Amino acid sequence: MRGSGYFVVMFFCFLAFMGSTEGDLQMGFYSKSCPNAEKIVQDYVNSHIHNAPSLAATILRMHFHDCFVRGCDASVLLNTTSGTNQTEKLAVPNSTLRGFDFIDRVKSLLEAACPGVVSCADVLALVARDGVVATGGPSWKVPTGRRDGTISRTSEAMNNIPAPTSNFTTLRRLFANQGLNLKDLVLLSGAHTIGVAHCTSFSNRLYNFTGVLGSQDPALDSEYAAVLKARKCRSLNDNTTLVEMDPGSSMKFDLSYYSQLLKRRGLFQSDSALTTNSTALSMVNQLLQGSLKSFFAEFSRSMEKMGRIKVKTGKVGEIRKQCAVVNG
């Protein structure tokens, strides 16, 4: 008769089997199959991101939008190939994303070195991290081994990506749907410390907040609103002007974004929404009382958590040859 020790061993073997079939991401996943993969990505980013440093913010946003729809599977990169299925790329939240060509160039270098090995999902995750680091922001661990999805739908992007007009309740629900908590919401919102936004993302706060033309969001600092109307977004219909997300500090990854929130100068409704919840507001104050190093460390932990959302590994999905189209 088999003893209890046998069953303990078999139990742990079962857990190990489950872990391998679920295919957890690994640091250095490509160390044997494409040893220079991460260096190829990093070298390209370091050589080219300074030509357009604002790309660091938009590719970080692209990674965020990708992970919130079907997990981090590069579905945001897929082009629409037929009239029957509109991909995520065409959804309103993604209409101002840039940097797809940057991702494509990195992927082409990897394909030349190791054909069919490195996924577009991993390329996007690595470029997002390396771009932030290259422009002076925090680093975080990016375990690899993601595989690429084959499905991309506009409707799913519309339903899952937080809009700049979202209130706190909506933000909390959409983050919770992805396994992210309130702390993650506050920390990941801190990415708005870099980058720019189109007027269309917030002009309703200046000109049409209640549905009555001329109405203004009372939660937005009136002096700041006046500056935006006079110098930036001069009409409700301006869809070309770009505005700094973190005025005077949009190229620097720092705590200034949170300071702006307390001054009622968060650009989006979703930014100012963080101050409408006492717990979130307390977290904002704690971040401001802490060090930049501490913020970097906490932001990095939330990014690592986000990068694992519903990843496809093992034999699920595919390794796309080109990031904009599924294989075959």
Q: How far apart are CA 10 and CA 22, in angstroms?
A: 18
Question: Annotation-wise, does 3 bind a ligand?
Answer: no
Would you give the distance in Å from CA 165 to the centre of its chain? 17
Question: Annotation-wise, does 148 bind a ligand?
Answer: no
Q: Please report which residue ranges of 140-241 form alpha helices under DSSP H.
A: 154-160, 168-176, 182-189, 203-207, 222-227
Question: Annotation-wise, does 195 bind a ligand?
Answer: no
Question: Annotation-wise, does 108 bind a ligand?
Answer: no
Question: Annotation-wise, does 66 bind a ligand?
Answer: yes
Question: Annotation-wise, does 162 bind a ligand?
Answer: yes
Q: How many CA atoms lie within 13 A of 218 on its CB side?
A: 1
Question: Annotation-wise, does 238 bind a ligand?
Answer: no
Question: Annotation-wise, does 240 bind a ligand?
Answer: no
> Which helix (H) or strand (E) covers residue 318, if one does?
none
The owner of tokens 């990506």 is: 161
Question: Annotation-wise, does 71 bind a ligand?
Answer: yes
**How many residues are given for the chain?**
328
Alpha-carbon separation of residue 95 from 68, 76, 91, 92, 200 (angstroms):
16, 11, 6, 5, 11
Of these residues, 50, 63, 65, 198, which one is catalytic?
A: 65
What contacts 175, CB < 8 A, 6 or more positions away?
162, 181, 182, 184, 185
The owner of tokens 């909390």 is: 172
Question: Annotation-wise, does 24 bind a ligand?
Answer: no
Question: Annotation-wise, does 75 bind a ligand?
Answer: yes
Q: How far apart are CA 324 and CA 103, in angstroms?
A: 10
65 is an active site residue: yes
User: How is residue 85 written in tokens?
Assistant: 């299925």
Q: How far apart are CA 196 and CA 31, in angstroms?
A: 36
Task: Supply angle C-alpha 30, 27, 72, rounded to 5.
Answer: 85
Taking the alpha carbons at both ends of the chain, their separation in whole angstroms is 54
Residue list for the binding site for heme b: 192
Residue list for the binding site for Ca(2+): 66, 69, 71, 73, 75, 88, 193, 246, 254
Residues serving a catalytic function are: 65
Residue list for the binding site for substrate: 162
Residue list for the binding site: 66, 69, 71, 73, 75, 88, 162, 192-193, 246, 254
